[in-house]
Amino acid sequence: MKVLLTCMECLQENGSRDFRPVVVTVNDERFFKMTCPNGHQSLTIIQQPKHEVLFELGMNALVDGYPREAVTSFASCLENFYEFCISQVSLDKGVDRASLDAGWKYMAKQSERQLGAFVMLWLNYFGSAPTLLSDKSRGFRNRVVHQAYIPGLDETLAFGDDIVACVSSNLRDMKHHLGDGLDAIFTSEFIARASSQNQRVTTQSIPTTIDWAGLIQNETVNLRTRLEDIKKDKVIFQWPKF
Ligand SMILES: [Zn+2]
């Protein structure tokens, strides 16, 4: 998946005139060494949390005609969202990083343990059970991931809708209990990634389908409309493929 970024030096010199995006390939760290069309070099981190990028990978897989790959990315998105919540809410509540890392290693490789930790996190801090994926969607995911089922577009979009509903419901729950603390959680997550580079980096935001700020404001997410938008992006920017 390609990501379009801005060269800040070009922006300062020319404003938005003659804007040409820098096209980079998404990676696990969401950290990019960029050289713009005018030769400026810079280091950039995108602010979006990993689960938003994973969902976007799924949307791009659908645009390219691969529903099966979309299902696995959507499923990874939700598991990573659980991990994000476990880590960031724990840190926000005063757990230190070393203790968190020591505890996480007991569940890092087992998604069912992470799911249990996520449920207990909600019960302990928010006093209620979180919203989880429906049984129908869990069954669908398992057929795709474990039984080699090749899904169609409509059922993959329905699965994506369920993922969106699950993430947005829990985010609104967090906003209700944490208030502005939720904004601080998202900000501190990408600042920590930027700081870990030990060099001067810029941070930029990219548009995503499940942008957290939109979800907590109850913005409607229409996956079919979003697929058309992603197709148009590819045409407008002559999105390269390889
Ligand atoms: Zn430049």
The DSSP secondary structure of 12-47, one letter per residue, reads HHHTTTT--PEEEE--TT-EEEEE-TT--EEEEEE-
Q: What is the pLDDT of residue 232?
A: 83
- Output DSSP code: residue 64: T
Q: What is the pLDDT of residue 56?
A: 96
Centroid of ligand 1 to alpha carbon of 38 (angstroms): 5
Centroid of ligand 1 to alpha carbon of 193 (angstroms): 23
Centroid of ligand 1 to alpha carbon of 192 (angstroms): 26
Q: What is the pLDDT of residue 76?
A: 97
Centroid of ligand 1 to alpha carbon of 226 (angstroms): 29
Centroid of ligand 1 to alpha carbon of 15 (angstroms): 11
Residue in 24, 54, 55, 50 with CA at minimum distance from that of residue 37: 24
Q: What is the pLDDT of residue 242?
A: 46
- Output DSSP code: residue 197: T
Centroid of ligand 1 to alpha carbon of 40 (angstroms): 5
What is the sign, positive or negative, of the torsion defined by CA atoms of 85, 86, 87, 88? positive
Centroid of ligand 1 to alpha carbon of 43 (angstroms): 12
Centroid of ligand 1 to alpha carbon of 10 (angstroms): 4
Q: What is the pLDDT of residue 164?
A: 98
Q: What is the pLDDT of residue 238?
A: 60
Centroid of ligand 1 to alpha carbon of 210 (angstroms): 29
Centroid of ligand 1 to alpha carbon of 158 (angstroms): 41
Centroid of ligand 1 to alpha carbon of 32 (angstroms): 14
Partner residues linked to 4 by β-bridges: 23
- Judge contact between 41 and 18, C-beta under 8 A: no
Q: What is the mean pLDDT of each run of 10 residues along the chain (242 residues)?
A: 88 76 91 91 95 97 96 98 96 94 95 97 96 97 97 98 98 95 94 88 93 94 95 69 49
Centroid of ligand 1 to alpha carbon of 186 (angstroms): 28
- Quote the pTM value: 0.93
Centroid of ligand 1 to alpha carbon of 35 (angstroms): 7
